Amino acid sequence: MMTFHPKILAPVAVAGLLASAALAHDHQAGTLSIQHPWARETAPGQAVGGGFLAIVNAGASEDRLLSGTSPVAAEVQLHTMMMDGGVMRMRQVTGGIAIPANGAVELKPGGFHIMFMGLKRPLRQGERFPVTLRFQRAGNVTVQFAVQPVGSTGPMKGGHDSH
């Protein structure tokens, strides 16, 4: 039978918990769960970038994503894509994005998404950067966006983004 010495096991357990927390990519804010925030890498000199995530509302009241800020961009805007006369157009959302009670909203390519305007530097694959999201009910929530390759269409499964 194998025995473990408590002075050795405790640091190993703490290291495991810290590693799990570092890999976790979901954020809780009251009744909201903000899941898998990610952005596409950008080229040097590119002025804008896109951000995506899912928001689940387990509460009995609607909440609303109103705005955001990030040190990597001069401005963070909420946008949507829509067909207009056979042409896909991007428009800034006014009044925020509703997160229905006991429902969810996915910000993804081709739909609602976050635009990082006036990037201060390129977003590099493999890095993370903070974005503070402002909700009507949940208030300000800072999350870490994981930067994925240019052609990504959804959050990475496995690798640094696994749970």
Number of domains in the chain: 1
The answer as to whether 73 is a domain residue is yes
The answer as to whether 160 is a domain residue is no
pLDDT of residue 160 exceeding 50, the answer is no
Q: Which of 83, 73, 84, 32 is nearest to 51 (CA)?
A: 73
The answer as to whether 22 is a domain residue is no
Q: Which domain holds residue 55?
A: 28-151
Q: What is the pLDDT of residues 71-117, one digit of tens each?
A: 999 999 999 988 788 888 889 999 999 999 999 999 999 899 999 99
Q: What is the pLDDT of residues 141-155, one digit of tens each?
A: 999 999 999 877 778
The answer as to whether 6 is a domain residue is no
Residue 11 phi/psi, 5° resolution?
Answer: -65, -35
The answer as to whether 10 is a domain residue is no
> What CATH number does the domain containing 79 carry?
2.60.40.1890
